[in-house]
Chain A
Amino acid sequence: METRCISCGMPLRQPEDYPLGDTTRDYCVHCSRPDGSMKSYDEQVAGFAAFMVRTQGLDPIAAKSQAIEVMRRMPAWKDHH
C-alpha cells in the first residue's frame, strides 16, 4: 500500500510530489505553502475549490461544498469541526 498525502490523498511517489522535495513529510506539494508547511483547513478548502473551478468550471459555492465533503474523509481533516 503506497503512501498518500494525509491532506488530499494523492499518492506520494517521487521527491517532486513532496513539499520542497522533502520525502520525510506526510503531505504533498499541492497541500503545502511556499515555505513547505502544510496548508490550514481553510487554505486547503479554498485551494481545492479554486482548482475545481479552474479545471472543471464548477460554480465556486458548489466547488467549496465538494471540497469540504472530499476532505472530510482525509486523515488530516477527519476530526476537523
Chain B
Amino acid sequence: MSRRQQQKRETRDRLIAAGWALFSARGVVSVRTLDIARAAGVAHGSFFVHFPTREDLIIYLIDRFAERVVGAVDAHARAGATIGAVLRAHIGGLREGEDFYTWLIRETHLLPPPARAALTGVQSAVAHHLEIVLRQPENAAQLGDLPLPLFFNGWLGYLHHHLLNADLFAPGASLLERRGVILVAHYLRLVRINAR
C-alpha cells in the first residue's frame, strides 16, 4: 500500500472512531460532521471524501454494530442454547455499544429513514435468531403458546426501559454490566420460563 493510501486509510479509521465516540456520548442528532472531523484531527472537507453524508457514517456504524450484536446471538442460535443463554448473548452483544444503542433507541424517531431501517434490520436479525432458538423442542416446550412477538417486544420493552433510565438503575456504571444477568432472569420469570 502506498503512503498516500495508508494515510487515507488512517483518516478513515480516525473518522470512524471519532464518529463512534461522539455519537455514543452525545447521540446522533446533535453531532455535526465538523465535530467528528475535529475529534479525528482532520480537515472538515476530508470527512466527505470518506463519507458523502453524515448519514452514511451513521449507517456504517449501525451496520458494524449490528454485525457484532447478531454475531453474538448467532453463536448461540446454532449451538442449541437455552433461552436464557441467548438473551444473555444479546446483552453481551449490545454491551460494547451500549451507549450508542441507547442513543439510537432514545432518538429513534429523529434518525434519518435509512438509519432507522438499519436499526429495524438489527432487531429483525435478532428476532430471526431468537426464533431459531425458540423453535428448538426443549425451548418451544417452555415457551408454550406464548406468541413470539409478545416474547420479543416484551424483552425489548423491558430492556429498553432499563437502558433509557440507566441513570436510575445503574448510576455512573454500565447498566448491562451491572444488571444484565438479573434482567434476563427476571424477564424469564415474568414469562414463566425456567431461567437456566
- Report which A residues bind B (CB closer than 8 A): 9-11, 48, 51-52, 54-57, 66, 69-70, 72-73
Asked whether any CB of chain A lies closer than 8 Å to the CB of B54, the reply is no
Cβ of B150: which chain A residues have Cβ within 8 Å of it? 57
- Asked if residues A72 and B125 are in contact (CB atoms below 8 Å), the reply is no
User: 12 more A-B contacts (CB under 8 A) besides A11-B67, A55-B131?
Assistant: A11-B74, A51-B128, A55-B130, A55-B149, A55-B152, A57-B150, A66-B117, A66-B120, A69-B114, A70-B117, A70-B120, A70-B124
Does the CB pair B152–A73 fall under 8 Å? no
Can you list, as one digit per residue, whether each of B119-136 has a CB less than 8 Å from chain A (1) or not (0)? 011011101101100000
A69 near B131 with CB under 8 A, answer no
Chain A contacts for B153, CB-based, 8 A: 56-57
- In the complex, how many angstroms separate the beta carbon of B119 from the nearest chain A beta carbon? 10
Chain B residues closer than 8 Å to A57, beta-carbon distance: 147, 149-150, 152-153
The residue in chain A whose Cβ has the minimal distance to the Cβ of B115 is A69
Listed in ascending order, the chain B residues whose CB lies under 8 Å from chain A are 59, 67, 74, 113-114, 116-118, 120-121, 123-125, 127-128, 130-131, 147-150, 152-153
Q: Which of A10, A11, A55 has the most CB of B within 10 A?
A: A55
B148: contacting residue among A9, A54, A73, CB under 8 A: A54
Residues of B near A66 (CB, < 8 A) are 117, 120
A73–B120 CB distance below 8 A: no
Checking B59, B67, B74, B123 against A56 with a beta-carbon cut-off of 8 angstroms, the contacting residue is B123
| Distance of A40 Cα from B59 Cα, bound (Å) | 25
Q: A54-B149, A55-B148, A57-B149 are known contacts. Are A69 and B116 too (CB-CB below 8 A)? A: yes
A26 to B124 CA separation, bound complex (whole angstroms):
21
Measured CB to CB, the nearest residue on chain A to B74 is: A11
Asked if B117 and A52 sit within 8 Å, CB to CB, the answer is no
Smallest beta-carbon distance B74→chain A, Å: 8
